[in-house]
Amino acid sequence: DQQVKQNSPSLSVQEGRISILNCDYTNSMFDYFLWYKKYPAEGPTFLISISSIKDKNEDGRFTVFLNKSAKHLSLHIVPSQPGDSAVYFCAASATGSSNTGKLIFGQGTTLQVKP
């Protein structure tokens, strides 16, 4: 059972436009959410996180939105750049659980930004 789902395997956008990557989760105990970026032949790198007490967190060109009632979060990249082309993973954690250190990841979405 996939507790964190990224239903779009791939996304292609034009340079300068907005990229929107989506993620859904099923476990209502999740209270921290993170996005990671992964380039080929490298490990994933942390991008941005959000606590469930917020509905938005912004860091430069990257903004994460959280809709708890819909159990949905999204990552917006504005403006998109060719260097943003990578695989993006959504992850979630339940800090109140016994496995507080555990991050559950989605399947990933491959973003291609065309020049």
Partner 1 sequence: DAGVIQSPRHEVTEMGQEVTLRCKPISGHDYLFWYRQTMMRGLELLIYFNNNVPIDDSGMPEDRFSAKMPNASFSTLKIQPSEPRDSAVYFCASSKHSGQVYGYTFGSGTRLTVV
Residues that bind partner 1 (CB under 8 A): 2, 6, 32, 34, 36, 41-46, 49, 51, 89, 91, 93, 95, 99-108
Q: What is the nearest approach in angstroms of partner 1 to the Cβ of residue 14?
A: 26
Q: What is the nearest approach in angstroms of partner 1 to the Cβ of residue 25?
A: 13
Judged by beta carbon, residue 77 or residue 94, the one nearer partner 1 is 94
Q: What is the nearest approach in angstroms of partner 1 to the Cβ of residue 38?
A: 8
- Residue 55 tokens read as 């509905």
Judged by beta carbon, residue 75 or residue 91, the one nearer partner 1 is 91
d(CA 94, CA 110): 26
Q: What is the nearest approach in angstroms of partner 1 to the Cβ of residue 60?
A: 16
Phi, psi of 90 (to 5 degrees): -95, 145
Strands 104-105 and 62-67 turn out to be unpaired
d(CA 36, CA 27): 20
Q: Is 73 exposed, middle or buried (0-12, 13-18, 19+ CB in 10 A)?
A: buried
